[in-house]
Structures are given as structure tokens and as C-alpha cells.
Amino acid sequence: MIWKREDAAAPADQPATAPTPERKDTAMADNDEVTIVGATAKLDGNLVSAGNLRIDGQVKGQINADGDVALSPQSQVDADIRAQNVSVAGRFKGNILVKGKAHLARGGRIDGNITSKTLVVEEGGTFHGQSIMDAGASSGASSAPAGSQHKGGSADAGTKATDEVKV
């Protein structure tokens, strides 16, 4: 048995190894576990991850992650993504819905719509689609005015852009 500092605070009538619900939730939030779809992998269908996800290969279908999703430079993804945050360094086609930040890295390409709280487009990234800056990013709609153009960098909530952006 391994003794942990958190176990010292456990009540005497409760075994030291039984985690309380609070500790379990905290441990899951701090978990750095990453699911990886390897460079030679091809996945067609629904991909669900309870944590973070890194895609190096090819995915076609639907991606749902409770954590963050990172698409590496060699990735090719044709899917819809729902996650906390997304970073795209490869080729992506589909819709992205994140609660936090969508990040398009140098050399990455997004063909599709993005709904996020924050959008960052690095110089050298290509974005073709619609960006909806939604503070909640939980729905696909926003009351933001249409017609604002996003030319890279970080965008503020309330911006909606429909254009191809090459930075």
C-alpha cells in the first residue's frame, strides 16, 4: 500500500484507500492521460475520449473528447469535433465546436466552421469557413453581428467571420 498525503485527511471510519468523490473528480481533472491515434492508423467512425486526444493519422467521422484535441502536422481529419480545446497543425475538414480555444497552427488547414470562445490563427495557417465566437461555445448559434473579418491572431468573443484566411 502506498500512503498519500490526501489519505491522512480521510475520516477514521473510512479506509484510507477509498477516495472521496471530491478527490476522484480532482484526479480526473488533473489526469494528463492522452489517447493517441498513430501516424499509420486510419479510423472511420465515432471516436470518443474521456481525456485528451492526439491524432497523428487519418480519421473520418465524429470526434468527441472531454479534454483537448490536437491534430499533428501529418494528420488528415474529415470529421466534426466537440472538445474543450482544439489545436490543428494538419489538414482538417469539418466543423469544430469547443468550449475554449480553437488554435490553427502554422502549416495547418481548416476547411469548415468553428464555434469557440477564442480563435487563434498563426501566420502560415489557412482557414476557410465561418468562425462564430461564442462566450459559452455550447451551442452552434451566436447573436454576434455578421461581416467582421478575422485576419489572424486572437479574436474576441462576439466576432463572426465568413472568409478564407491565409496568414
pLDDT at 32: 74
pTM above 0.75, yes or no: no
Q: Given this model, what pLDDT does residue 136 score?
A: 61
Give the DSSP letter of residue 9.
Answer: G
Which pLDDT does position 157 carry in this prediction? 37
pLDDT of 165 reads: 53
* pLDDT tens, N- to C-terminus, the chain (167 residues): 454 455 555 455 544 444 433 333 333 344 578 999 999 999 999 999 999 999 999 999 999 999 999 999 999 999 999 999 999 999 999 999 999 999 999 999 999 999 999 999 999 999 999 999 976 655 444 333 333 334 444 343 334 444 455 55
Q: Which pLDDT does position 33 carry in this prediction?
A: 85
Question: Which phi and psi angles does 7 have, rounded to 5°?
Answer: -65, -25
**Domain regions of the chain by residue span:** 36-158
pLDDT of residue 138: 54
pLDDT value at position 164? Answer: 53
